Chain A
Amino acid sequence: AQTVTQSQPEMSVQEAETVTLSCTYDTSESDYYLFWYKQPPSRQMILVIRQEAYKQQNATENRFSVNFQKAAKSFSLKISDSQLGDAAMYFCAYLNSNYQLIWGAGTKLIIKP
């Protein structure tokens, strides 16, 4: 069975600094999607970034980028120039071949002003 592990329950970063959130997953599939979702205090989940496993190039969305290491089954999220609005729970997720998302337990990101 596929699993997703986020080993950091909580991370904090100074405003304007860079922070990296870790995610590892376990699967025997070769083609899949990986996602990072953000859940601010308002509770609504928002997609941050998506990576397709067959693409070697790391996905980037403005200040958000990933370090995708397929062989190591690692999918970390880097947030550059952290802003107060980045404070949220961040969830890593894996999409399996049945189009079901497998979720990590989440990392709470705190931004220090």
Chain B
Amino acid sequence: DAGITQSPRHKVTETGTPVTLRCHQTENHRYMYWYRQDPGHGLRLIHYSYGVKDTDKGEVSDGYSVSRSKTEDFLLTLESATSSQTSVYFCAISEETSGGNTGELFFGEGSRLTVL
């Protein structure tokens, strides 16, 4: 199993408060991703990273920021949480071989965030 851990696994917070979710990997993979999962929408990409300090926006990036100061950690921050950000958040990393990024993702166990 790929070594990916997410923290916290569950969090309840109030509207307007900042929240940071952490994703930690032990695989030394270059690509890391943050997704949110909501009923009827499947997985939607929030932000992704292709290296230390190299990040880019996904399809639902508004209200979220990320940081990657070292290979193993990818942080997702909600500067001011809203109820619409209540969701399950998944971190993922991409498998890489000598040929590059294969596109196969390994996922963390998810973080359930509830914004009241």
What is A's interface to B at a CB cutoff of 8 Å? 33, 35, 37, 42-47, 50, 91, 93, 95, 99-101, 103-106
Contacts and interface: CB of A to CB of B under 8 A. Distances in A.
Nearest to B88: A43
A35 B104 CA distance: 8
Contacts of A35: 103-104
Contacts of A95: 103
Contacts, number: 48
Residue picked from B92, B101, B103, most chain A C-beta under 10 Å: B103
Q: Interface size for chain B: under 10, 10 to 19, 20 to 34, or 35 or more residues?
A: 20 to 34
B58 interface: yes
A50 B101 contact: no
Contact of B42 (A46, A47, A105): A105
B72 to A, nearest CB: 19
Interface in B84-116: 88, 90, 92, 94, 101-110
B107 A100 contact: no
Nearest to B58: A100
B44 interface: yes
Nearest to A1: B59
Contact of A45 (B45, B94, B107): B107
6 contacts: A33-B102, A37-B105, A43-B110, A99-B101, A100-B45, A105-B40
B43 A99 contact: no
B113 to A, nearest CB: 14
Given A35-B104, A101-B105, A45 B90 contact: yes
Contacts of A46: 107
Nearest to B38: A105
A91 B42 contact: yes
Given A43-B110, A100-B48, A100-B58, A106 B105 contact: no
Contacts of A103: 42-44
